[in-house]
Amino acid sequence: MSVTNLIPASSNPQPPEREAAGVLSFATGKKIDPVVAERRRQDRELVAAILSGDADSFTRLHELYATRLYRFAVKRLGDATEAEDVVQDVFLEVHRCLASWEGRSALLTWMFGIAHHQICRRFRRKTPIGVSLDRLEFSPPVALDVPSDRRVEASRILEVCA
């Protein structure tokens, strides 16, 4: 018995390409996993709510992603305090630039990109000056020869200041 005999004649079956179409990626034209498609839809709704001025939505965004961003930063920086600062800077940047998120990637991916740039900025700030300690010369401070009538006693200056 063939498969076509199992389908009742009264039903109007969809062509196979229609049934399997689902949501397609703009970039590749391939099917997107339904879970990923749902997450992106939720991200778009959350961003729309934040941009409309709903403060609770930004709190929800923080609750969703702060822990993952923190772990990302701690793993790269090795310092919990620095990682907390990075997460704070990421959310400040997200608040400032959320309208520029185009939705081509997941919101979390976009935020990881911001975190990556914040971390790189911190590494650039910590780069030491490239002077070898061997090249630095140490010489003790030299007292200038000052005539005795021009010397100032520290105790006398402190009395005046008090």
Nearest residue to 110 via CA among 52, 78, 142, 65: 65
Q: Where are the domains of the chain?
A: 21-125
Alpha-carbon span 87 to 77, nearest angstrom:
12
Alpha-carbon span 6 to 17, nearest angstrom:
20
Q: Which two tokens stand for residue 38?
A: 């749902």
Q: Which of 53-62, 66-75, 120-129, 131-140 has the highest mean pLDDT?
A: 66-75
3 state SS of 31: strand
pLDDT digits (tens, 9 = 90+) for 115-152: 999 999 887 776 555 666 666 666 665 656 766 666 66
Alpha-carbon span 102 to 73, nearest angstrom:
24
Topology classification of domain 21-125 = Rna Polymerase Sigma Factor; Chain: A (1.10.1740)
